[in-house]
Amino acid sequence: MIRDRYRTISTPGEGSYRELASKFIARAFPIAGEAEFKSITAAFGNEHPASRHICYAWVLDVDGDRHRANDDGEPSGTAGLPILRRIRSLDLTYCGVAVARYFGGTLLGKPGLIHAYGEAARLALQAAVLVERVVMERWTVRCGYDRFDGMKADVLANGGRVIDPDFTTVCKATIEIPLGQGVLLRPKWALLGVVAEPDQAG
């Protein structure tokens, strides 16, 4: 079944947790893609130059099919996976969490690390604002000037938006509309001379 909605966070959240003498500072943030995650995580790392590790996890795609976890030198499975589990527990996607660890001189052992990284991630996600978003699809629309306002009104009435309208000999625009609405509007538009095609790149 194709999902028409997904859960994510709309604003970053931060949390900190202490385990013995080690301090774990976490930041959760919304992301559109892996490149954005890398940029934000690099900036986060620059804020914590004295930290021993910067561990992270992220989840992408509507179904959360793309994901990654990184232990950054901690024992395998003790940092990235606990962070990832916290994101998964809230059914979030387009979301990343990075955790900086300041080593306090006392080894925590694998159970201690798993708990500490997971708890830091939980606190950061708890401080973020969770939202539900509608999955959007893009269509390319062409029509005469006399049909543009009507087409635009249909798009807006269905929770969509018109992107980059181009007014030359005909009106052409990319529209973003909730998943499935384009197919429903297409027959009506065809009767009015509005040509609508799915934007394969979108």
Domain ranges of the chain: 5-133, 136-198
Task: Read off the pTM.
Answer: 0.78
CATH class of 136-198: alpha beta
Rounded distance between C-alpha atoms, residue 140 and residue 145, angstroms: 16
Res 131 pLDDT > 80 = yes
Q: Which residue has the tokens 């027959």?
A: 187
pLDDT band at 2 (very low <50, low <70, confident <90, very high): low
Share of the chain above pLDDT 70, in %: 98
Question: How many CB atoms lie under 10 A from the CB of residue 192?
Answer: 13
Whole-angstrom distance, CA of residue 191 vs CA of residue 201:
26
Residue 107 pLDDT exceeds 80: no
Q: Which two tokens stand for residue 189?
A: 């538009």
Per CATH, the homologous superfamily of domain 5-133 is: Impact, N-terminal domain (3.30.230.30)
Q: Name the E strands within 87-167.
A: 95-102, 129-134, 136-143, 161-167
pLDDT bucket at 202, cuts 50 / 70 / 90: very low
Longest dimension (CA), the chain: 73
Q: State the Cα–Cα distance between residues 193 and 115, nearest whole angstrom.
A: 61
